[in-house]
Structure 1
Amino acid sequence: MITAGPLSTADLAATVRASIHGDVVTPDEPGFAAAAFGSTGVAPELVVVAAGAADVARVAALAGRSGRRVLAQIAGRPTEVRAARTVLVVTRLLARVRLDSAARTATICIGASWRQVLDAAEPFGLTALSAAADTYGSGRPRAAGFAFAADRIRSFDVVTATGDHRRVGRDDPDFYSLRQGRTAPGLVVGLTLDLVPQPSLTVAELTFAAGDAASVLAGWQRWAVRLPRTVVTGIAVGAGGDTLVVRVGQVGRTDRWAAVLASLTAAIGVAPVRATGGPATTAQVARGGATADRLALAA
């Protein structure tokens, strides 16, 4: 009887190349370091730049049959490879968002950023409730890999270890495990969530001289702990390193906005060298670098 030996890295790479539309990079190729950029820990056995969810499914099936692990890398986020014989799947080409404005839903692929979701929803007067982003991290698929308010999720798109594509809806026993970031039946490659009407949002950015840093920090801390739930704030060093920037956002009623800013300047005790602000959308806040996640949650 003739039996096949273990599949070598070269054989696996050739098999994967013949099965997908994306790229495959092996450690002996010059572009391997660039392809694996952003990953830490153990060097992956292969890097696959997936062209779509179908590529992810084929890689999962081939890797599973050959005894390899599969780890998805989210674009722009570090990924730790914790074990040898791991196939790293780069998802930057899966940066797609499909919007249904009539149904008020967004279907988000694994490579998409939260800013893409907000940008897609903005022209329709919609937005998405969001929370602080997490990562897939350990190699187990985690719903928290997307930044979102979990109770707005309608379904998950999952690729199983056998390469099957599953739509896991609210009536599926695995839905709540996925939503809570527990061990899942495969790799989450997308999800569909409900959108909400764009809230009334007002923002301001106050820039203070570095020489006033002590007064600004002390006053801002005293002021921030007394804020209502509809007002959020943050503080950071300015881009040039010689200023402090306080950002404030309020969701909902605007009749108290002037009083909010007046109470801030009174608490700090010094005047800003520059102040900007006005009505905004959550997408505009995200593009401007403010904390869009927290502002959306306040709605």
Structure 2
Amino acid sequence: MTTYVPDLDTLRGRLTGAVALPGDDLYASLTSGFNLAVRPTPAVVVQALDAQDVAEAVRYAGAAGLAVAVQATGHGIADALDGALLVHTGRLDECVVHPDGWARVGAGVRWQQVLDAAAPHGLAPLCGSAPAVGVVGYTTGGGLGPVARTYGWASDRVRAAELVTGDGVLRRVTAEDEPDLFWAVRGGKGAAGIVTALEFDLVEQPELYAGALYFDGADAAAVLQAWRLWCADLPATGTTSVALLQLPPLPGVPEPLAGRFTVAVRFGWTGTAGDGAAALAPMRAAALPLIDAVQTIPYPAIGMVHADPVDPLPAYEETDLLRELPAEAVDALLAVAGPEAGSPQVIVEVRQLGGALATAPDSALCHRDAAFTLITIGVPMIEGVPQHAAAVRAAMGPWATGGALPNLAAGTGAERLARSYDPETLARLAAVAERFDPLHVLRAGQVPVRSPR
């Protein structure tokens, strides 16, 4: 490995991209993220234009004793990154869809680009509920999308990755070449290295029967109890979640939902529309919907299922995994977050797992046996949001597994890592990192906790 004099002039001379420092206009644009409640303040930012720039930044950080973090779209930033070198990969924008069923994308590509490029071939990527999210951060954390019970985790579709490991080496990893890194990159977030490109399989799914049913808050108990029972017999062709909503009266929020308590049942069906309508019939009969937005849609419109916000906003999130959802759990959830509870949360969602998500390929993604996810999303400036989120988790504690998915309510630190990975997986991730990152450069952000050497 080349040794560098740790000064910025040397770094600038080796980059195709740019270096930005606090006070620069470029620094401000590169450190902005989706969650406005978290404002990163790294010591220096490298705007990479290619994979070699990423490698040069990592080598420089190793010589300078700096921790390294990575950001592309800013959706996964979970801490301030104080004193770190932030590698911004948003300009790595390669996006190629192969008609025989796979795609190659750079680290700066968002899912909507892949959706639009795959559609003319009748193909579809396993994106998440928000197509504006970056492909790489989503996939390396597992990737749980609106058709996940049919097709499984996005990380299980990865066929190859190109990444820069902590020793500053650009590597191509597959199941045959560098199998330990290939294992780690599928679910291990940044523990394996900084991904510069991913190659992954697509599915044949030109359209969906999908959308959401929205009910009045007064019907919350009837809808949630019906949803709980309905989930028990839902085939893997269907993927669903239920959300308690308190959406503000802002532009883009439909009038029947704005400024009131409502309940959304999200639904994605990969089979025929007729079969999907039959499967959804019990939920349509649970109460009179305020809005029935479930219909046949082109797959690239999959973002309408959850209708996640597209503009940055401040958010405070908490999450859990649930082993089951009996009637008592629904009662407990409604008591703490239902229409009469005075909940300050904007969203409290329960998402069904199972189906193809329960398969267990050899990767770093854990908790495949969980039955449901729980997440709360609130505005941190509203008094009591963190305390109430903790109360929701406590109320659901009897049914929680103690685990968490890496991408839901992103966090850092030893406690969160212990929730995201079981001890065996966490130990293996740390061993992989020790092998390929001997200077412990990749120690910022969502990676196993390591101290500087």
TM bucket by the smaller chain? 0.7 to 0.9
- CA distance in 2 between partners of 1:132 and 1:272 (Å): 22
Q: Is the 8 A contact 1:71 1:89 kept in 2?
A: yes
Q: CA deviation at 1:69?
A: 2.6
The reply to whether residue 277 of structure 1 matches residue 263 of structure 2 is no
**Residue from 154, 174, 194 that aligns with 1:149:** 154
The reply to whether residue 260 of structure 1 matches residue 279 of structure 2 is yes
- CA distance in 2 between partners of 1:276 and 1:43 (Å): 41
Task: Please list the CA deviations of residues 207-264 of structure 1 after superposition, one character each: whole Å capped at 9, or x if unmatched.
Answer: 3334434433343333334322222222332631334332322222444333223222
Q: Is the 8 A contact 1:130 1:296 kept in 2?
A: no
Identity %: 34
> After superposition, where does 1:1-299 map in structure 2 within 5 Å?
7=6, 11-12=7-8, 14-29=9-24, 32-38=27-33, 43-80=41-78, 85-102=83-100, 104-129=101-126, 144-145=140-141, 147=143, 148-172=153-177, 173-174=179-180, 175-181=182-188, 186-198=193-205, 201-236=208-243, 237=245, 239=253, 240-242=258-260, 243-266=262-285, 268=286, 270-289=287-306
- CA distance in 1 between partners of 2:25 and 2:193 (Å): 31
Aligned partner of residue 229 in structure 1, secondary structure = coil
Which residue of 1 is the match for residue 320 of structure 2? none
Q: Where in structure 1 are there 5+ consecutive unaligned residues?
A: 134-140
Task: Please list the CA deviations of residues 130-178 of structure 1 after superposition, one character each: whole Å capped at 9, or x if unmatched.
Answer: 5799xxxxxxx99624735333222110123454322112211332333
- CA distance in 1 between partners of 2:115 and 2:219 (Å): 35
- CA distance in 2 between partners of 1:210 and 1:113 (Å): 34
Seen in structure 2, the aligned counterparts of structure 1 residues 219 and 89 have a Cα distance that, compared at 3 Å, is same
Q: Which one-letter code corresponds to 1:97 in the other structure?
A: C
Q: Is the 8 A contact 1:98 1:107 kept in 2?
A: yes
- CA distance in 2 between partners of 1:235 and 1:109 (Å): 33
Q: Is the 8 A contact 1:43 1:81 kept in 2?
A: no
Q: CA deviation at 1:188?
A: 1.8
Aligned partner of residue 94 in structure 1, secondary structure = coil
- CA distance in 2 between partners of 1:183 and 1:31 (Å): 24
Q: CA deviation at 1:100?
A: 1.6
Q: Where in structure 2 are there 5+ consecutive unaligned residues?
A: 131-136, 144-152, 248-252, 309-351, 358-453
> What's the Cα RMSD here?
3.7
Q: CA deviation at 1:124?
A: 1.0
- CA distance in 1 between partners of 2:18 and 2:218 (Å): 53
- CA distance in 2 between partners of 1:85 and 1:6 (Å): 18
- CA distance in 2 between partners of 1:79 and 1:5 (Å): 28
- CA distance in 2 between partners of 1:233 and 1:182 (Å): 25
Aligned partner of residue 222 in structure 1, secondary structure = helix
Q: Is the 8 A contact 1:251 1:295 kept in 2?
A: no
Q: Which one-letter code corresponds to 1:190 in the other structure?
A: A
Equivalenced residue count is 280
Q: CA deviation at 1:193?
A: 0.9
The structure with the greater share of residues assigned to strand is 1
Seen in structure 2, the aligned counterparts of structure 1 residues 223 and 30 have a Cα distance that, compared at 3 Å, is same
- CA distance in 1 between partners of 2:79 and 2:213 (Å): 42
Seen in structure 2, the aligned counterparts of structure 1 residues 52 and 245 have a Cα distance that, compared at 3 Å, is same
Q: Which one-letter code corresponds to 1:74 in the other structure?
A: A
- CA distance in 2 between partners of 1:276 and 1:15 (Å): 56
Q: Is the 8 A contact 1:199 1:251 kept in 2?
A: no
With a CA cutoff of 8 Å and minimum separation of 6, indicate the structure with the bigger relative contact order: 2
Q: Is the 8 A contact 2:209 2:270 kept in 1?
A: yes
Seen in structure 2, the aligned counterparts of structure 1 residues 144 and 186 have a Cα distance that, compared at 3 Å, is closer
Seen in structure 2, the aligned counterparts of structure 1 residues 259 and 178 have a Cα distance that, compared at 3 Å, is closer
- CA distance in 1 between partners of 2:237 and 2:225 (Å): 22
Q: CA deviation at 1:185?
A: 5.6
Seen in structure 2, the aligned counterparts of structure 1 residues 92 and 210 have a Cα distance that, compared at 3 Å, is same
- CA distance in 1 between partners of 2:272 and 2:209 (Å): 9
Larger Rg: 1
Aligned partner of residue 109 in structure 2, secondary structure = coil
- CA distance in 2 between partners of 1:213 and 1:151 (Å): 35
Seen in structure 2, the aligned counterparts of structure 1 residues 116 and 183 have a Cα distance that, compared at 3 Å, is closer
Q: Is the 8 A contact 1:131 1:297 kept in 2?
A: no
Seen in structure 2, the aligned counterparts of structure 1 residues 168 and 264 have a Cα distance that, compared at 3 Å, is same
Q: CA deviation at 1:80?
A: 4.4
